Amino acid sequence: MPDIRELSDESGDVQFEEFMARIMPGLPPEVAEQINLGLRKQHTTPPVKNMELCIHRNCTPEKVRQILYYPEEEDVAFYPLLLRGPGPGAPQDDPKFKIQVAAVMVLYLHHGKNTQFTRTFIMEGGLRSLVALFTHPNLHLRGQVLETFHFLTTDEICLWFDKPEDPRLDRDLPLRRRMFELSRADMVKNLLANYEGSFPGGSQIALEIFGFYISWLRLHYCKDNVMQLSQEMLDLLEKWHLRTESNAEEKEVIPALRLDICPSCIELLEREFNSAA
């Protein structure tokens, strides 16, 4: 791989080269060159028409590069639109699918690990956009989405499990409200759909996100911090636990989900589970 300084004159874009310098060192050697070439080709010929189709406004090549590689705060609001993609069954050469793939990639490689970006992204409805892709038929894209969401549940982004006594002093409260809104989306349904037919390691990541969400709901929205999963959901988790292809990490996560009943949450969870059946 050429030194990033040797490539700076190639693009003439210092911000893009800084973006590349941050993402390339962490990539596996077997994919690094492919990603390097793909991103540089996209930078040279940015998808202006495709971007305009997704965000419903005119763009210059410079603006497309900014949105994708070094977005300003005002650009983050475009990302839920970029992630929306085309309708079901659209071909892989669909312009909206191409933009969707590009947006997911830069989220996965860089932006999803940037605290300033992700906090704005969450406030703009980005979590719901990711949840909608938990069952995407393209397993490579699905994998990047689930891993991005998994990172967003860490304390590096938000102190999700904190409960400050004075809500007025809680800078993370708006983010937690956005997380709670997922209870009215397909969060649980789409996670449980990764029980089978997911990408390698996908069922484990989905299960860990599921465990995070159930524990988080229990802490913030259950009376006396007590919850019990519905019997139908427990049966699925037991099946998940017993299947031969479950790895050790999956088998450790499941027992932790056996909690006490919480009437305020059980109806929500049962509704989500039944809709997945």
pTM score, two decimals?
0.85
Contact present, 160 and 153 (Cβ < 8 Å): yes
Exposure string (b/e) for 54-73, b if CB count within 10 Å is 16 or more? bbeeebeeebbbbbbbbbee
Q: Spell out the per-residue pLDDT of the chain, length 277, in tens.
A: 445 445 455 668 999 999 999 999 989 998 999 999 999 999 999 999 999 999 999 999 999 999 999 999 999 999 999 999 998 888 989 999 999 999 999 999 999 999 999 999 999 999 999 999 999 999 999 999 999 999 999 999 999 999 888 888 899 999 999 999 998 888 989 999 999 999 999 999 999 999 899 889 988 888 777 776 778 877 887 787 777 566 766 666 665 655 443 444 445 444 544 554 4
